[in-house]
Structures are given as C-alpha cells and as structure tokens.
Structure 1
Amino acid sequence: MAGLDKNTPTPTSITVHQASRVLEIGFSDGASFRIPFELMRVCSPSAEVQGHGPGQEVLQTGKREVLVTALEPIGNYAVRPVFSDGHDSGLFSWDYLYRLGAEQDRFWADYQARLAAAGLDRDAPMAGKAGPGCASGH
C-alpha cells in the first residue's frame, strides 16, 4: 500500500489553516509544503474521485471554497480529511501528500487542462459525470 515504503519521509508537523484553506505539512527530510484544500479535494485518492479503473475518474468542480473540517490519522501511514462538502473517503498516505506537495504545479496544470478539455472551469457546479479526473498516478 502507498505510504508504507520505508524510504518515504514521514510528517513531522501537520497544520490545518482554515483561513487560507491550506494544509501545511513538514517532513522528516526537511521538505515543507502548503497544499491547498481545493487541490487535495480535486485530487483525492478515493475511488469516488479516481474511479476503479481507467476512464472512471470523475472530474471535480466547484471546490474552490472547500474546507477541511477534520483530519483523522489512519495508522502510521496516512490521514483521512473530512471536507466541508461531505467527501471523506480519501486516504492520503504520506507518500501521496509528499508528491502532491512537491508536484502541485503539475497537478494544478493537469487539472486545468482536464477542465479546459471538458469545457468547464473550476467553479462550475458538479455534474457528476465520469471523465478525466486528477492524474494521481495510482
């Protein structure tokens, strides 16, 4: 399972910043990231967002104002954020959070490209149809 690799840096600090809507996370290798809640939500590793296979991804929209209302630890390898829109099924492993933070420019660009291809913008209401989701690499 992702997040269990012994070489994956582990978090040394995690802070939920509601006002700026970012998760600040520091890792044991000295890296530190500020990951926007919106990016976490649209790139959630959950099956609800990623689907169960290629082509089943659901493009997320209307998540700019989403908040993280709770952050629950999952063993020693992940956290489960509870988002203000009710989404709570994504387990964010340490390696996924590290990658999301380190490569957030690429994740944002991929997301923007998928929105453009679908003729949508990030503030469009959720349509609930299948289409390209966030390129999580899972």
Structure 2
Amino acid sequence: MAGLRPDTPVPTEITVHQQSRVLEIAFADGQRFRLPFELLRVYSPSAEVKGHGPGQETLQTGKREVQIVDLQPVGHYAVQPVFSDGHDSGIFSWDYLHELGSRQDQLWRDYEARLAAAGVQRDDPMPVKGGGACGHHH
C-alpha cells in the first residue's frame, strides 16, 4: 500500500465531534488523541498552507471556530477533511495525524510563536486571497 510503512499507526476509530470541534482518533497501538479542528486546519498538509518549500508556509489565523463539515477517506491511508471555511485540499495521512496527536503541545507552542513573530493575533481574519498570495504583482 502506498504511503504506509510497516510501523504506521492505523486508526481503529475516527469521530468528528462538531459540538466540541475536535477530531477524536483512536489508533491500533492504543493511543487516543483529540485533535482540535483548529489545529488540523492550521497544520493542514496542503500546498495552500504549507507552500511550495520551506519558508513558504501561509500562517493561518482566525480558525478557532472552524468546523469540519465532511471527512472523505483517501484510500486506506488518509482522510481529507472539508472545513467550513472552504479549505478541502489537505490530505491527512495516518502518520501525520498520529504525529499531530503526539506533538500537539509542541505544535500549539510553535503556532503561538509564529503568530507572535508575525505580529498577528490568533483570531485575526485571514487576509483576503488575491494580490500577492504567490508573490505576483498586478
């Protein structure tokens, strides 16, 4: 199977809790994580968030209230959430979800540090797309 190493943790259960805005995921190794939608959205592995190389990441803000409105399976190795802000290009592999779960505290700290470095607030609205998103000037 593409993308799966022999030691890849496989989820046995994935639950979307829309009230509390967390994705609950239980793995076959017995670990269980509750991943806030905001964390998933901020750390989405899509090109839109990650950019096309180191330093190209787009800092995501204003995602505290974001919902996951749909969760599509991708083969047997990932899920693709559809977020209420229209973002749907992030494919979360089991590996990546497990990593997000196990490094959650560190990732929140990194996120807060990046916000501080950029001089923006966590709840600031995202800048409107267009006009320089990829460095093109009109």
**TM-score w.r.t. structure 1 length?**
0.90
Alpha-carbon distance, 1:98 to partner: 0.2
Deviation at 1:23, TM superposition (A): 0.2
The higher radius of gyration belongs to 2
Percent identity, aligned pairs only, is 71
Give the residue type in structure 2 aligned to 1:4. Answer: L
Corresponding residue of 2:11: 11
Distance (Å, rounded) in 1 between the aligned partners of 2:71 and 2:3: 17
| Letter aligned with residue 96 of structure 1 | Y
Pair 1:43–1:2, CA change in 2 (3 A): farther
1:70 is paired with a residue whose SS is strand
User: Per-residue CA shift, 1:90-124, capped at 9, x if unaligned?
Assistant: 00000000000111001100000000001111100
CA 1:3–1:11 in 2, change beyond 3 Å: closer, same or farther? farther
1:5 positional shift = 1.2
Residue identity matched to 2:73: P
1:117 maps to: 117
4+ residue stretches of structure 1 with deviation over 4 A?
none
- 1:79 partner SS: strand
**Structure 2 counterpart SS, 1:71:** strand
SS in 2 for 1:38: helix
What residue in structure 1 maps to residue 136 of structure 2? none
Aligned residue pair count? 130
Q: 1:2 to 1:121 in 2, by over 3 A?
A: farther
Does structure 1 residue 36 correspond to structure 2 residue 36?
yes
CA deviation map 1:27-46 (0-9, x unaligned): 00000000000000000000
3-state SS of paired residue (2:23) = strand
Aligned CA-pair RMSD: 1.6
- What amino acid is aligned across from residue 106 of structure 2 in structure 1? R
Structure 1: stretches of 5+ with no match in the other structure: 131-138
Residue in 2 aligned with 1:55?
55
Question: CA deviation digits over 1:6-55, x for unaligned, max 9?
Answer: 10110000000000000000000000000000000000000000001112
> In 2, distance between residues paired with 1:2 and 1:47?
20
**Structure having greater relative contact order (Cα 8 Å, sep ≥ 6):** 1
Residue pair 1:2, 1:95 contacting (<8 A) in 2 also:
no
For 2:46, the aligned partner's letter is S
* TM-score normalised to structure 2 length: 0.90
